[in-house]
Amino acid sequence: MPEQTIAAAVRAAAARLAEVGVPDPLVDAELLVGHVRGLGRGEVQATILRGDSWDEEAGQRFLGLVERRAAREPLQHITGRAPFRHLELAVGPGVFVPRPETEMVAQFAIDALVADASEAPIGVDLCTGSGAIALALATEVPHSRVFAVELSDDAHAWAARNTASAGNLTLVHGDLADALPELDGSVSVVISNPPYVPDDALPRDPEVRLHDPAMALYGGPDGLDIVRVLSARALRLLRAGGLLVIEHGELQGRQIRDLLTADGWRAADTHPDLTHRDRATTAIRP
């Protein structure tokens, strides 16, 4: 069987992915090689530098994955894995792929849990999807107790798989509107990355538009239907002085601050992400 260098395969794949508008074609090509070979990206780069080859079978398998990516299937659905902070989550059809910008949003909740003086501070992640935020809280603040709520059957199944081994994390299948009544008044931090895209604002990227579940994306005419419910529910869950953290779209900061302030929250404040776009709003329960 003829051999091909991995470097040549990566070059051809990156060109193919660039041709169809995949945003980071070389990175994706290298990560797909990593998936085929069971290697991290640094190790893939080392095989390229060494001029390593692979057999036709591996090359064909790689080409099949590249064509799926060229059809704009999310890289994380192809590999079945999504990185989040120090974690790697299992993901696939039916669950929202966790995003890098959410890693920084989670930090607000982690800092608040760490700063909390109680023995076992309680954190709640409403709209948990794959369980990414909840699992980050539970593992990075091991003395906390974390509760995660998810409505979708499919997403809940992914979250169950991802969170099964976290002893301080309880996953609840249900609507955030009436979830966890037994915790009312006792929670230190409520965090949520809710659906917030306005119904008529179709996302540009096909990976998002065609593969993230509609229930994870759309939040009604102005995108804030779930945020309104979240504000009401979090007011009851949190103890006085507890922190609410909401991820949102870059143009929604002012509306969300106004909405929270009208609901009675204190010190509503919007924070930018690393690209200087408004990304999260925090507020304190009076």
Binding site for ligand SAM (CB under 6 A): 96, 98, 102, 127-130, 132-133, 149-152, 155, 175-176, 193-195, 215-216, 226
Compute the C-alpha angle 218/267/195, nearest 5°.
10
At closest approach, how far in Å is the CB of 194 from ligand SAM?
6
Compute the C-alpha angle 81/125/271, nearest 5°.
90
Compute the C-alpha angle 273/279/281, nearest 5°.
120
> Is residue 255 exposed (0-12), middle (13-18) or buried (19+ Cβ within 10 Å)?
middle
- Residue recorded with tokens 């369980």: 131
- Which residue lies nearer to ligand SAM by CB, 25 or 98? 98
According to DSSP, the residues that pair with 100 across neighbouring strands are none
At closest approach, how far in Å is the CB of 28 from ligand SAM?
20
- Which residue lies nearer to ligand SAM by CB, 206 or 220? 220
At closest approach, how far in Å is the CB of 176 from ligand SAM?
4
At closest approach, how far in Å is the CB of 164 from ligand SAM?
17
In the chain, DSSP finds a helix count (H) and a strand count (E) of 12, 11
- Which residue lies nearer to ligand SAM by CB, 6 or 208? 208
According to DSSP, the residues that pair with 271 across neighbouring strands are 280
At closest approach, how far in Å is the CB of 133 from ligand SAM?
5
DSSP state of 148: E
- Which residue lies nearer to ligand SAM by CB, 13 or 217? 217
The structure tokens listed for 153 are: 């059957």
- Which residue lies nearer to ligand SAM by CB, 65 or 227? 227
At closest approach, how far in Å is the CB of 227 from ligand SAM?
11
- Which residue lies nearer to ligand SAM by CB, 176 or 235? 176
The structure tokens listed for 200 are: 């008529």
Integer angstrom CA distances of residue 208 from 116, 137, 141, 214, 238: 36, 25, 31, 9, 32
Residue nearest to ligand SAM (CB): 129
- Which residue lies nearer to ligand SAM by CB, 4 or 255? 255
Q: What is the number of other CB atoms lying within 10 angstroms of the CB of residue 194?
A: 20
At closest approach, how far in Å is the CB of 196 from ligand SAM?
7
Report DSSP letters for 74-97, one per residue. -HHHHHSEEEETTEEEE--TTSPP
d(CA 181, CA 173): 14
Given a contact cutoff of 8 angstroms between Cβ atoms, the answer to whether 158 and 95 are in contact is yes
- Which residue lies nearer to ligand SAM by CB, 47 or 130? 130
At closest approach, how far in Å is the CB of 105 from ligand SAM?
8
